[in-house]
Amino acid sequence: MARVFNFSAGPAMLPEAVLQQAKEEMLDWQGSGMSVMEMSHRGKEFMSIAAQAEADLRELMAIPTNYKVLFLQGGASSQFAMVPMNLLRGKSGADYINTGAWSKKAIAEAKRYCKVNVAATTEASKFSTTPTQAELELGADAAYLHYTPNETIGGVEFPYIPEAGDVPLVADMSSTILSRPVDVSKFGVIYAGAQKNIGPAGLTVVIVREDLVGQTIAGTPTMFNYAAHVESDSMYNTPPTYTWYLAGLAFAHLKNKGGLASMAEINQRKAAKLYAAIDDSDFYANPVTTESRSWMNVPFTLANAELDAVFLKEASELGLMTLKGHRSVGGMRASIYNAMPEAGVDALVELMADFEKRHG
Ligand SMILES: *Cc1c(COP(=O)(O)O)cnc(C)c1O
């Protein structure tokens, strides 16, 4: 069996130990005689899997008790609508920070439900930086402030948590959740599609402060109401059971590896190696300002775009896969989430140096 280093932005690599455990338990989960896929979500086996996953996530992120954790479907994209539906709470507008493609999508969806005040946008810089706290122009009566801590496509990441006073802060953490410790108490809502830094696609994790639940706008479908999911422990309807189980295995794995402080150290080191390889050369470039560079998604261009195809071919021959940049950015993008081993980054850095020698 030859496993490759997959630099995909999502769905992305999973820890090999997690896949191995899933393989071992595939046909018979812990003597139940069933695969987790075949279990009733209301049976005691699956209930224990679900509860353990939540407990492990709570421990990993040190989630305070006044926050609910929901395991939903619909992706982060559904949260673009669920957030305004649940958080407007009688107000008519919300603040959004625009730092790139995913912010834009969140803004476009929110505009269907409320007046969006763009508190800051970095579009003039082609989304190559993040706004400072001083640059945020918060609305007078905003229901919440929404931002994207890590823009997966642009590779731009906030080096700080925006401050919005009493206004709940909402974060789309799809591509940065679990990459380092974060103070959950600073947020009203954190949401993340699972397929980047948690587990397989099909699961969306939502962490919501209790007092923000239960005041939806008129006409909100039940499935879009956080309260329906809170009241039923994310089992209002059939939840994505197998994905929930795999996410649980990933949480347990992260705990074994020393938790998020340990992940932060490794992730920072992986990113630093890659940015050093880019900055130390005249052949590779990354457009993002130093302080706003992402630990998770590292876009870079070659001095000659005609060599892109050659680079990708050589990379794939070495088992370094899915490095092609997003179609809107071009060049390369290396997504180096938790499950990307440091050896994968080392191999990429080595190829980059060697490639430059031959083609630079
Ligand atoms: C991938 C991604 C999304 C979209 O997630 P889906 O689960 O596909 O809806 C939204 N926001 C960010 C930051 C992402 O990286």
CA of 242 to the centre of ligand 1 (A): 20
- Pick the closest to residue 139 from 182, 180, 92 (CA basis): 92
Catalytic residue selected from 68, 196, 270, 324: 196
Nearest CA to ligand 1 atom 12: 174
Structural domain ending residue among the three candidates 228, 256, 284: 256
Residues 250 and 262 in one domain: no
Per-residue pLDDT reduced to its tens digit, 47-58:
999 999 999 999
Residues 295 and 185 in one domain: no
Residues 74 and 175 in one domain: yes
The confidence score (pLDDT) of residue 1 equals 65
* DSSP H helices in the chain: 16-25, 44-61, 75-87, 101-110, 226-231, 241-256, 259-279, 308-317, 342-359
CATH code assigned at 328: 3.90.1150.10
Structural domain ending residue among the three candidates 197, 223, 256: 256
| Beta pairing, strands 145-147 & 320-321 | unpaired
Residue 149, ligand 1, Cβ within 6 A: no
% of the chain residues with pLDDT over 70: 100
Structural domain ending residue among the three candidates 256, 271, 299: 256
Residues 221 and 266 in one domain: no
Residue 77, ligand 1, Cβ within 6 A: yes
At 359, give phi and psi (nearest 5°): -120, -10
Residue 99, ligand 1, Cβ within 6 A: no
Catalytic residue selected from 172, 244, 270, 324: 172
6 located within any domain: no
**Is residue 11 reached through a cis peptide bond, with omega within 30 degrees of 0 on the bond before it?**
yes
pLDDT at 329 over 90: no
Nearest CA to ligand 1 atom 10: 76
Give, as one character, the DSSP assignment of residue 325.
P
HSE, CB side, 13 Å, CA atoms: give it for residue 111.
Answer: 8
Specify the number of domains making up the chain: 2
Domain of 275, in residue numbers: 258-359
pLDDT at 106 over 90: yes
Residues 276 and 229 in one domain: no
Establish whether 91 is a catalytic residue: no
3 located within any domain: no
Establish whether 172 is a catalytic residue: yes
7 located within any domain: no
Per the confidence metrics, is the pTM higher than 0.95? yes
Per-residue pLDDT reduced to its tens digit, 108-148:
999 999 999 999 999 999 999 999 999 999 999 999 999 99
The confidence score (pLDDT) of residue 360 equals 84
Residue 176, ligand 1, Cβ within 6 A: no
CATH code assigned at 83: 3.40.640.10
